[in-house]
C-alpha cells in the first residue's frame, strides 16, 4: 500500500474522532470559565448519572439502526459489479452468427458501468441517466430475442438487468431518505442536554472533572457525527469518513479493458 493510501486510511479512521476532540476542546473554554466563577452548581447524584446513561443509551439505539442500513449498503458495490460482469460475460457466449448485437450489448453494459461510476464519484445518483442506459440494454435483449436466442439465455439476461434495476432504486432510496429524522432530533437534544449539564456539573477535583467532561463529550459528539456520516454511505470524498467500499465496481474497468483486448486479439488471430 502506498503512502498516499495509508494517509487516506488514517484520515478515514481518525477523522471523526479528531472533529469530536476539537469540538470538545472548544467546549472546555466555557467549562473553564464556569468553573472559575463558581457557576458549576449542579451536584453529582444518581439522577444526573441516570440522565447521562439514558442519553448514551438512546444514541446507541439510533446508532444500531443506522449501522444495520450501512452493513446492507456495503453489499451494493459487489452486487452491482457481479450483475454487470454477468451481463458482459453472457453476451460472449450467445450463439450468434453475427457478433454485432453482442458487441453493442457489451458496449452498453460498459456505458452503464461508467454512468454509475460517474454518479458515485460526483456524489449525485442520477437515476434518470442510469435508467436511460438500462433501457438501451433492455432494447439489446429485445433484439437478441428477435434473433431467436434461446429463451433461457434471454431470461438470464433479463434477470440480471432486473437485479440491477432493484439495486439502483435501492441506492436512490438510501441516498434520498434520512434515518428517522425524529430520532436524529432526539439524539441531538440528548447530546446537547448532557453537554449543558456537564458544563454546570460540580466535579472535584478539577483535573478529574476535566477528564470526565472530555471523555463523555468526545464520545457523544463522535457518535452523533458518525451517525450523520453513516446515513449516506455512498457519499464519497475527503470530507466523509464512513463510506462503503466500491473498489470491486471500480476494478470492472480494468477487467472490461482486458476482456475487450483479448477478444480483439482473438479476432485478429483468426483472420
CA distance 239 to 123: 12
**The pLDDT of residue 148:** 87
84 and 64 fall within a common domain: no
Sign of CA dihedral 183, 185, 186, 187: positive
40 and 112 fall within a common domain: no
Q: Please provide the size of the chain in residues.
A: 271
What is the count of structural domains for the chain?
Answer: 2
68 and 104 fall within a common domain: no
**The pLDDT of residue 265:** 76
236 assigned to some structural domain: no
14 and 143 fall within a common domain: no
CA distance 157 to 108: 13
Per-residue pLDDT for the chain (271 aa), expressed as one digit of tens each?
A: 444 444 455 566 677 888 889 999 999 999 988 888 888 888 888 888 888 888 888 888 888 877 777 777 888 888 999 999 999 999 888 888 788 899 999 999 999 999 999 998 888 889 999 999 999 999 999 999 998 888 899 999 999 999 999 999 988 887 777 666 677 788 888 889 999 988 998 887 778 888 889 998 998 898 888 887 777 777 765 566 667 778 888 899 999 998 888 877 766 555 5
**The pLDDT of residue 11:** 61
What domain range is 62 assigned to?
3-72+181-230
Indicate the burial class of 120 (C-beta count within 10 angstroms; 0-12, 13-18, 19 or more): buried
* DSSP state at residue 42: B
CA distance 251 to 158: 24
**The pLDDT of residue 62:** 81
- Residue 249 has which C-alpha cell? 465496481
237 assigned to some structural domain: no
27 and 134 fall within a common domain: no
Sign of CA dihedral 149, 150, 155, 161: negative
239 assigned to some structural domain: no
Q: How far is CA 242 from the centre of its chain?
A: 6
CB 194 within 8 A of CB 55: yes
CA distance 235 to 229: 8
Ramachandran bin of 180, using left for φ above 0, alpha for ψ from -120 to 50, beta for the remaining angles? left
| 44 φ, ψ (degrees, to nearest 5) | -80, 125
86 and 56 fall within a common domain: no
Residue 201, strand partner residues: 42
156 and 260 fall within a common domain: yes
41 assigned to some structural domain: yes
Q: Could you tell me the pTM of the whole model? A: 0.77
Amino acid at each position: 500500500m502506498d503512502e498516499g493510501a495509508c494517509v487516506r486510511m488514517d484520515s478515514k479512521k481518525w477523522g471523526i474522532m479528531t472533529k469530536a476532540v476539537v469540538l470538545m476542546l472548544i467546549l472546555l473554554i466555557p467549562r473553564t470559565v464556569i468553573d472559575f466563577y463558581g457557576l458549576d452548581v449542579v451536584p453529582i447524584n444518581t439522577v444526573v448519572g441516570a440522565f447521562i446513561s439514558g442519553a448514551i443509551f438512546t444514541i446507541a439505539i439510533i446508532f444500531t439502526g443506522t449501522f444495520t442500513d450501512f452493513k446492507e449498503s456495503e453489499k451494493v458495490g459487489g452486487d452491482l459489479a457481479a450483475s454487470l460482469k454477468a451481463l458482459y460475460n453472457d453476451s460472449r457466449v450467445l450463439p450468434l452468427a453475427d457478433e454485432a448485437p453482442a458487441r453493442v450489448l457489451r458496449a452498453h453494459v460498459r456505458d452503464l458501468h461508467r454512468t454509475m461510476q460517474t454518479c458515485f464519484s460526483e456524489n449525485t445518483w442520477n437515476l434518470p441517466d442510469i435508467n436511460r442506459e438500462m433501457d438501451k440494454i433492455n432494447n439489446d435483449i429485445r433484439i437478441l430475442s428477435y434473433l431467436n436466442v434461446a429463451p433461457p439465455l434471454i431470461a438470464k439476461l433479463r434477470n440480471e438487468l432486473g437485479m440491477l434495476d432493484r439495486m439502483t432504486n435501492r441506492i436512490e432510496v438510501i441516498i434520498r431518505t434520512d434515518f428517522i429524522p425524529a430520532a436524529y432530533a432526539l439524539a441531538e437534544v440528548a447530546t446537547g442536554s448532557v453537554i449543558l449539564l456537564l458544563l454546570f456539573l460540580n466535579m472535584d477535583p478539577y483535573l478529574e472533572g476535566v477528564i470526565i467532561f472530555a471523555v463523555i463529550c468526545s464520545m457523544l459528539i463522535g457518535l452523533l457525527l458518525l451517525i450523520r456520516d453513516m446515513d449516506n454511505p455512498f457519499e464519497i470524498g475527503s470530507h466523509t469518513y464512513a463510506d462503503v467500499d466500491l473498489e470491486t465496481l471500480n476494478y470492472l474497468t480494468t477487467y472490461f479493458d482486458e476482456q475487450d483486448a483479448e477478444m480483439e486479439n482473438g479476432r485478429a488471430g483468426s483472420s
